[in-house]
Amino acid sequence: MPAEATSTLETLEMDTFPAHPPRSVSRGKSVSPGRALSRLRATRDYGIGIGLLLIVVVLWTSSNFVTQGMYQDGFEKPFLVTYMNTSAFALYLVPWKLREWWRRRRGLEDGGVRRGRAQYQRLAIDPEADERPEPEDPPILHSSSEEELPPLTIRETARLAFVFCFLWFTANWAVNASLDYTSVASATILSSMSGFFTLAIGRIFRVEMLTLAKIAAVLTSFGGVLLVSLSDSVQPRQPGGAASRPLANSTELAPRPILGDSLALISAVFYALYVILLKVRMRSESRVDMQLFFGFVGLFNILSCWPIGIFLHIIGVETFELPHGSAVTALAINMAITLSSDYLYVLAMLKTTPLVVTVGLSLTIPLAVIGDFILGRFTRGQVIFGALLVLLSFVVVGLDNEKVKTREDVADDISDEDARPSLELGATE
């Protein structure tokens, strides 16, 4: 072998495999600036998602107490309440349209400047500059696929909103309607099974990782809801629910328990379906215009769901009646709460995980207990213990997600360390 080739090979080996690597660089702990920034952004978004979820819990619990008074006044119209609340989403089309109009106007004003910038070209001072190949930057390794996905178009957003509209409407109407046929306790228990369906369906679509901690948290949350619901069956009160917002007290015997229990179970399934649908199709809130999405949901609800109300009126399930008295105020407050809370809820789900928001919505139970205490209502010890179990399950899910995220980051760092020597070798060649 020539001496020059031998010297080149030894230099290459010393550069690729140093004899004494620096102590500050360790396998799995050397993080590129891009990955560190991405990790910091993910942690920040997760914290924001938890904060938004807590705001949603407060708003939904307030809605529980407001709607409870409406039902106690005799205005029990599950379809009308769900239809009006969902129709309120169409109001989001107004700010979206104004924003698009302003954007087009600014685009016309800045068009000349943008075209001028687009026509700028680098001056070729060196005649060999155009022939000399430019060095290629090393590929950027992303920690998640969300950064590589393109944003949804208006047509894609409309299609997603159309599917989401019926899933969301069915989930909310089913649990509200179930209260007319079964007991509040049964409806709350069965609707809280949405945690099981969310974990199972999320695992199928690879948006949730199945761990023992998550299974234990779901079981603990369900146990807490069970204790509160059984206490409600002895002393009726306003319950909370994991899948939706139970609306009324009922001291009468359930007229059709099988039908009511089936509707509550359907609500849990459809709840899991629509949260997983959004997570799979959106992945990140940066891919979709949330105002446009919810505006389409409200528009599709207005245009397509009204025949259901006529059908329910004809068969006598729910006769149409305009709200009157205090029901008008309660319905307006609920529409305002829905307009803001459900928007924040979807953002919280996209920033965290479907299971986190599913278990987190069970926090309406401990918050309702606090509300009863402030209002001077009697609260049983069984209810307090059940509320503590729900709170514990939410903490467990959050901690487990952090552990899973840490393991994924370590795995990504190790893969980067394995890929970096081959990239450096290719650059040397």
Return the pLDDT at 92. 94
Residue recorded with tokens 């969310």:
198
- Residue 226's nearest CA partner among 216, 214, 236, 241 is 241
* Cα-based distances in Å from 357 to 55, 63, 231, 256: 12, 18, 25, 31
Return the pLDDT at 108. 66
Residue recorded with tokens 């060196």:
126
Residue 116 in tokens: 């001028």
d(CA 202, CA 208): 5
Cβ-Cβ contacts under 8 Å for 119 (sequence gap 6 or more): none
What pLDDT digit, counting tens, does each position of 205-239 carry?
Answer: 888 888 888 888 888 888 888 887 777 555 444 44
Residue spans of the chain under pLDDT 70: 1-35, 68, 108-148, 183-186, 188, 232-255, 377-379, 404-429
Q: Residue 222 corresponds to which amino acid?
A: F
What pLDDT digit, counting tens, does each position of 15-35 carry?
Answer: 444 444 444 444 444 556 666
Q: Please, are residues 80 and 318 in contact by the beta-carbon 8 Å criterion?
A: yes
Count of Cβ atoms closer than 10 Å to residue 281 Cβ: 16
**DSSP string for residues in 50-115:** HHHHHHHHHHHHHHHHHHHHHHHTT---HHHHHHHHHHGGGGGHHHHHHHHHHHHHHHHHTHHHHH
d(CA 188, CA 262): 12
Cβ-Cβ contacts under 8 Å for 317 (sequence gap 6 or more): 177
> Where does residue 110 rank: exposed (0-12), middle (13-18), buried (19+ CB within 10 A)?
exposed
Residue recorded with tokens 């393991």:
407
Return the pLDDT at 300. 96
CB crowding 322-353: b at 16 or more within 10 Å, else e:
ebeeebeebbeebbebbbebbbbbbbbbbbbb
d(CA 220, CA 214): 10
d(CA 36, CA 359): 29
Beta strands in 84-240 (DSSP E): none
